[in-house]
Structure 1
Amino acid sequence: MKIHRLVGAAVLSLLLAACGASQSATTAGSAATAESADTVLKIGATPVPHAEILDFVKKNLAPAAGIKLEVVEFTDYVQPNVQLEEGLLAANFFQHKPYLDDFNSSKGTELSFVTPVHLEPLGLYSKKSAELAALPEGGTVALPNDATNLGRALKLLADNGVVTLKEGAGTTATERDVAGNPKKLVFKPLEAAQLPRSLDDVDAAVINGNYAIEAGLKPATQALALEKTEDNPYVNGLVVAAGHEKDANIVTLGKLLQDPKVKDFIAQKYAGSVIAAE
């Protein structure tokens, strides 16, 4: 009789243990599912237009696509890449490929450009001259100081006859590549974010589109010279750490950023100051 009781107790104990294990597995599975459902993509972006575009996607497209976005804003071009390399971000959205290539080369990072989204035409602005021809002799022109945007700014000036560049000067051209400078302009390289604030102190400034818009400038109508969009390599896009290009959520976000509704949003909100990539 005692043996039967012992066996029965053992069986009951095993059944309870098995039931408990099954319940624990179910609970763990539910937690994993909840954790997966609550996974948030943390995306670094400069405020205008990148964060605004991401916010549009976050509110209007991401929920139906099954992803959640957290937009982290930066006011410089360095930290979004540093934090992406360190794994603090899932992706960033603020830069064009020439800038990324230069950053990877100079900083030893391994970041990958995955989805083109839009172009922000670079423009020359002035509070003192109403047209390009009115730039004063010996005037000071502020330029972005990072390697690719400096070369890009000089090309803008060259394309509009303000300067000429040495033959073969490419995207990394510097002031040393200026071959002709009829008005003897003085160039003042500054951090890109500072360029709009410099307009009170210089005769003109070449300003990146995002910072121009953020400062209340209207590139399509106020720029003395504006970058051409045809065959332009400076399209801004989504960037991830190398090896994450095909992550399911990144692929989904890339498709959302190229959605026709995003292109319509860009066209309506920025009226030609930001142009959706084809």
Structure 2
Amino acid sequence: MFKQILSRPVQVLALALGLFTTGAHATDAPLKIGTTAAFAIPLEAAVAEAGKQGLKVELIEFSDWIAPNVSLASGDIDVNYFQHIPFLENAKAAAGFDLVPYAPGIINNVGLYSKQYKSFDALPIGASVAIANDPINSGRGLQLLAKAGLITLKPGVGYKATEEDIITNPKKLKILQVEAVQLVRAYDDADLVQGYPSYIRLAKTFDAGSALLFDGLDHKEYVIQFVIKPENKNDPRLAKFVDIYQHSQKVRAALEQAHGKLYQPGWES
């Protein structure tokens, strides 16, 4: 029913301008960062700025939300940037990864979108609703439905909510679970869709700002994190790159280009 999303080819962006050598990680080997399409453009700007400062960086883009942690755990990359802490904790519990958050990035809005209906009241009985199929992002989708007044959830379940936690569903919504990166394609088929503005902007199929409801930027648990193996915590290349990402004006401009106003920094300026 849902169209298959066309993933971008895995891209490797390498800059070999100058050397950066100091401390236990004294090497001219590039810092390898894994990410996904939604976060690539600002990271590319940070890689370019790092190159100007003599720091080599390779940016490796993955087309799914599993490979970046597998690659990091196996040592193929040094850090990844695509997930918030609830997603990381779930991945660690499921696969036994020894991974930790290193530094905060940005927090994105997530919204509920409809191609056909202009309000929640207009949704018919039995309307189809597409939400993410992974345990953490589906919980975020259910929280959005509860905020919209379409369902009620058991008190206190938070981002761990599942369909079993739904107490009332007066419109008898049919909840369809879809891989998160494919939700943008579900917009054409479902009556209501949980949407990620970053992926919507990449797809260029509808207005990322047209959500009937956003979940707000006050859920700090959803700040995207730079994630590492614990033994990498003192890598000076990593510290330098994160500082560039958080404070470079060119990176900030790239963030505005990629996310518009639907994000905010998760770090103290």
Name the TM-score class by shorter chain.
0.7 to 0.9
The amino acid that maps onto 1:161 is: G
SS class of match (1:171): helix
User: How many pairs are equivalent?
Assistant: 244
Instruction: With the length of structure 1 as denominator, give the TM-score of the two structures.
Output: 0.81
Q: C-alpha displacement at 1:269, in angstroms?
A: 4.5
- Does residue 40 of the first structure (1) align with residue 34 of the second (2)? no
Deviations 1:64-110 (A, max 9, x none): 43311111111211001001101111111111111001111111001
Q: Which residue is equivalent to 2:42?
A: 53
Question: Matched residues in 1 for 2:221 and 2:105: separation?
Answer: 12
More helix by share: 1
- Which runs of 4 or more aligned residues in structure 1 lie more than 4 Å from their structure 2 counterparts after TM superposition? none
Q: Is the 8 A contact 1:125 1:223 kept in 2?
A: yes
Determine the C-alpha separation between the residues in 2 that align with 1:254 and 1:174: 34
Task: Spell out, residue by residue over 1:93-150, the C-alpha distance to the aligned partner (whole angstroms, 9 max, x if none).
Answer: 1111110011111110011111111111111111111223222210110110111111
Q: For 1:251, give the aligned amino acid.
A: A
The counterpart of 1:273, out of the listed 251, 255, 262, is 262
Larger radius of gyration: 1
Q: Which amino acid aligns with 2:193?
A: A
Gaps of 5+ in 1: 1-32
Unpaired segments of 5 or more residues in structure 2?
A: 1-20
Identity %: 35
Aligned partner of residue 124 in structure 2, secondary structure: coil
More divergent stretch after superposition (101-110 vs 65-74): 65-74
Contact 1:84 1:241 in 2 (8 A): yes
Partner residue in 2 for 1:14: none
Confirm or deny that 1:229 pairs with 2:212.
Answer: no
- 2:235 maps to what in 1? 247
**1: CA distance, partners of 2:169 / 2:248:** 44
Match of 2:95 in 1: 107
Supply the AA of the counterpart residue of 1:67.
Answer: L
Which deviates more, 264-273 or 117-126? 264-273
**Is the 8 Å Cα contact of residues 163 and 178 (structure 1) preserved in structure 2?**
yes
2:252 maps to 263
> CA-atom RMSD, angstroms?
2.2
